[in-house]
Structure 1
Amino acid sequence: MELLECRLAIDDLDSFVADLGEIGDRHGVTIQAFDSRYVADRRHLERAVELADRAIERDENVARDRAVEILLYAAGRRQIDRALEMGVSEGGDRAVVLVDGGSDEDETTALEAVEKLDAFVERESTLETQDPETLCEFFDITDAERTATDTSLSALVRERVALLEVEK
């Protein structure tokens, strides 16, 4: 799995998503773009990929498309409409683009193609800082839950991702 932390300026979301799909198909990889405000850290996305792949292997997936299944797990939700809130939108976004599958070379080549899209503005570190309020609100993590444990916010988000598997 490779991640591209960046800034995007998307004029037409449908066209951008189609471009990602074409790049993925051409390089034999899965590509999903996330609004970085909703990504706790790299391990959050690694866990989402792992659980999505397990659901697909067991024929328990909700989405037909692997990228959408990864999005569902990353968002900790079974409803696609609610999970889409975690995706990028039109306008300017700090983003994380996930590329997974094929070989390391396929992933790298696909990332390079993403950087050539009109919507790509620049590489920018987007996972170094978290907005705890946004993450807690999106993943329904309460103040009481945070004070009851000394675990990190990232670990609590990964717990929500894992709970999706249990709640099926």
Structure 2
Amino acid sequence: MELLECRLRIDDIDAFVADLAEIGDRYNVTIQAFDARYVADRAHLEQALAFADRAFERGENVARDRAVEILLYAAGRRQIDRALEMGVSKGDNRAVVLIDCAGTDAGESDSEETETAALEAVTDLEAFVERTGTLARQDKDTLCAFFDVPPAERAATDASLAALVRERVALLEVEK
């Protein structure tokens, strides 16, 4: 899995999604773009990816598309409409773009090269502005509101906010 932390300026969301799909098809990778405000940390997306893959292996996936299933797990929701809030939108975005070629016949080193090539193709898109550390700081208010982490819960534990978000992702797996 490769992550591209960046700024995007999206004029047409449908065209941007089509561009990502075309790159995904060209490199045989899964690509999902997230609004960085909703991503707790790298481990959050790694966990969502692992659960999505397990759902496909077991035939328990909700979405037909792997990228959408990853989005559902990252959002901790089974409703696609609610999970889409976590995606990028028209205008300026602090974003994280996940690129993964698991499930292909490529070897590990080939997978890394393929993911890197796909990542570079994303940076060539018109919507790409710059690479920047979008996961370096959390938007705690957005994370708490989106993942329903009340102040009382935060006060009752020494767990990090990222750990509480990952717990919500794990609970989705348990609740289905």
Class of the TM-score when normalised by the shorter of the 2 chains: over 0.9
1:49-80 superposed Cα distances (whole Å, 9 cap, x missing partner): 00000001000000000000000000000000
Match of 1:81 in 2: 81
Correspondence for 2:112 among 92, 101, 104: 104
Given the two structures, how large is their TM-score scaled by the length of structure 2?
0.94
Structure 2 letter corresponding to 1:38: Y
CA–CA distance in structure 1, aligned partners of residues 135 and 151 of structure 2 = 22
Give yes or no for the alignment of 1:134 onto 2:142: yes
Equivalent of residue 160 in structure 1, options 144, 161, 168: 168
Give TM-score, length-normalised by structure 1: 0.99
Distance in 1 separating the partners of 2:26 and 2:172: 31
Determine whether 1:92 maps to 2:86: no
Q: Offset of 1:140 from its aligned partner?
A: 0.3
- Identical pairs, percent: 77
Which SS does the other structure have where 1:96 is aligned? strand
User: Which residue is equivalent to 1:61?
Assistant: 61
**SS in structure 1 of the partner of residue 148 of structure 2:** coil
For these two proteins, the number of residue pairs brought into alignment is 168
CA deviation profile, 1:78-114 (whole Å, cap 9, x unmatched): 0000000000000000000000015001100000000
* SS at structure 2 position matched to 1:6: strand
State the secondary structure of the residue aligned to 1:122.
strand
The equivalent of 1:116 in structure 2 is 124
The residue type paired with residue 34 of structure 1 is: F
Does 2:37 match 1:37?
Answer: yes
Q: Which runs of 4+ in 1 moved over 3 A?
A: none
Gaps of 5+ in 2: 105-110
Separation in 2 of the partners of 1:158 and 1:68? 18
- Residue of structure 2 in register with 1:52 after alignment: 52
* SS of corresponding position for 1:78: coil
Task: Give the drift of 1:144.
Answer: 1.0
Partners of 2:174 and 2:95 in 1: CA distance: 29
